[in-house]
Chain A
Amino acid sequence: MKVLVPVKRVLDYNVKPRVKADGTGVDLANVKMSMNPFDEIAIEEAVRLKEKGVATEVVVVTIGVPKAETDVLLTARAMGADRAILIATEDEVEPLGVAKLLAKVAEEEQPGLIILGKQAIDDDSNQTGQMLGALLGWPQGTFASKVEVSGDRVAVTREVDGGLETVDLKLPAIVTTDLRLNEPRYATLPNIMKAKSKPVAKKTVADYGVDVTPRLKTLKVVEPAKRVAGVKVGSVDELVEKLKALGVAK
């Protein structure tokens, strides 16, 4: 079984986002970009499936700037993906457009499983996996904390509001990863060196004949209302008084 893992290049999660002064977006010039953390978990899961003999090949795909070839797609291959597909574009593609492109990739590649991060930490949309499921008519196991493939089914344990839920899906299927599915391995330097020889197929959005015209227009982006630091109290007694004043303690 082939596993397809779509990944996104985003502002590194350790970098504090800065809203541009003209209100058009978040400043991405000269800041560190990395793979979306949930997508690293997706690659790790795919590679573990291959190490267990469940998956035969791990293919990673990204839609984004050409530079992704030498950063996130290299990291993905160093982590254990066998080959990569770069669908190059300088434009921002919305989750619906991404899902349409991925549906085309899935038709070509015929994976048994597509594992995606549950959300990208830039737009926080949490949509692409579910949309892809609808477009392909495949079942979805979102927010996964455990994935077990057996025969032509996959059992996915999901992190839900009240705790955990397990669903049984018919393959081919979509899985989206939550934080506790696994702990991704580091791309080591020797593996990064080796990964450079793993193939990258270079495509463009136009190659897929899909309309990815944005449906949403961002009118403005602003910083949220700032909280200001309050007072420090010096003792538990003072804190008790404050809680009483707030009406939460008697």
Chain B
Amino acid sequence: MKTLVWVEHDNAHVKDATLAAVTAASQLGEVHLLVAGSGCAAVADEAAKIAGVGKVHLADDAAYGHALAENVAPLIAKLMETHDAVLFPATTNGKNIAPRVAALLDVMQLSDILSVEGPDTFTRPIYAGNAIATVQTADKKLVITVRGTAFAKAALTGGSGTVEAVSGEGDKGLSTFVSAEIAKSERPELTSAKVIVSGGRALQNSENFHALIEPLADKLGAGVGASRAAVDAGYVPNDYQVGQTGKIVAPEVYIAIGISGAIQHLAGMKDSKTIIAINKDEDAPIFQVADIGLVGDLFKIVPELTEKL
């Protein structure tokens, strides 16, 4: 089977999420990549070095610079004339583009796969991960998004792919990029952090969140996450949210502070290797999944913990 992986990047570097999709693709067959962007030749060179990669298709056009689905989807649909499957990391960009490609190809997408069981059979989570479905597709072409935490990351070195320029229809004239407010942080990204410190509504306000969670995260070199309740209450921006509709994470250690553990939150972090919970309510559902729990007042515990580390 010939597969194509859509490469997530910022026109400078390959993003980590791509590497899990490459691993999933390699379980299906030969791996080709698509780097679509603007001024992104360096990304294609970097992508060609990913272990196990064959051809890298490079579509360098201003129309692809911001990964607008209206422009990128027709390009991928055209490349699918010579590929059997296309895989996307299940990032917001991947989730935005993939179904548009699937509809252009008249195939049913397989969302957020957890494993490859065969050339047409995959597992995927449903009901916020409360059930795992094994599904088999009857479609001849496959469109797949890949859950990043479910597959090992392909190595960024060792490959010797060849870069080949491709062109598409460019700008379809339907949409334009206006602006982005992308948070800049020195901390590790949530989806690749080894340790995550997450805060919930019990922190009461934004000041407490920053004053308590961030120093602890800094001590541990951790990424910072939050529950939906904390994001809805405005303590932190949306990109902190861990859960069914936010980010799916699986770090070595996940520390949940003042998070009760709604199923929508658990859906985003229950595959973490070790879960630590700090909560004043000893009956909070978070303790049912936590490996290590500490019952008590977070306003006392967290500063003490930060100090003692």
Contacts and interface: CB of A to CB of B under 8 A. Distances in A.
Contacts, number: 262
A146 to B, nearest CB: 11
Interface residues of A, number: 82
Given A169-B175, A232-B294, A217 B138 contact: yes
A123 B130 CA distance: 11
A35 to B, nearest CB: 16
B232 A179 contact: yes
Interface string A228-239: 011111111111
Please report whether the interface of chain B is mostly helix, strand, loop or mixed according to DSSP: mixed
Nearest to A94: B108
Interface in B61-78: 66, 68-70, 73
Contacts of A121: 127-128, 244
B295 interface: yes
Contacts of B211: none
B195 interface: yes
A161 B112 contact: no
Nearest to A159: B238
B139 A215 contact: yes
B79 to A, nearest CB: 16
B126 A134 contact: no
A127 B102 contact: yes
Interface of B: 66, 68-70, 73, 91-93, 95-104, 106-112, 121, 125-139, 173-183, 191, 194-195, 219-220, 228, 231-232, 237-239, 244-245, 247, 252-253, 263-264, 270, 274-276, 282, 287-295, 301, 304-305, 308-309
26 contacts: A26-B130, A124-B111, A125-B111, A127-B102, A131-B99, A134-B73, A134-B100, A142-B96, A160-B93, A162-B239, A165-B179, A167-B68, A179-B232, A180-B232, A214-B108, A218-B134, A218-B135, A221-B126, A224-B270, A230-B292, A232-B293, A234-B294, A236-B304, A237-B308, A242-B292, A243-B309
Interface of A: 11, 13, 16-17, 19, 26, 94-96, 99, 118-119, 121-135, 137-143, 145, 155, 158-170, 178-180, 214-224, 227, 229-240, 242-243, 246, 248-250
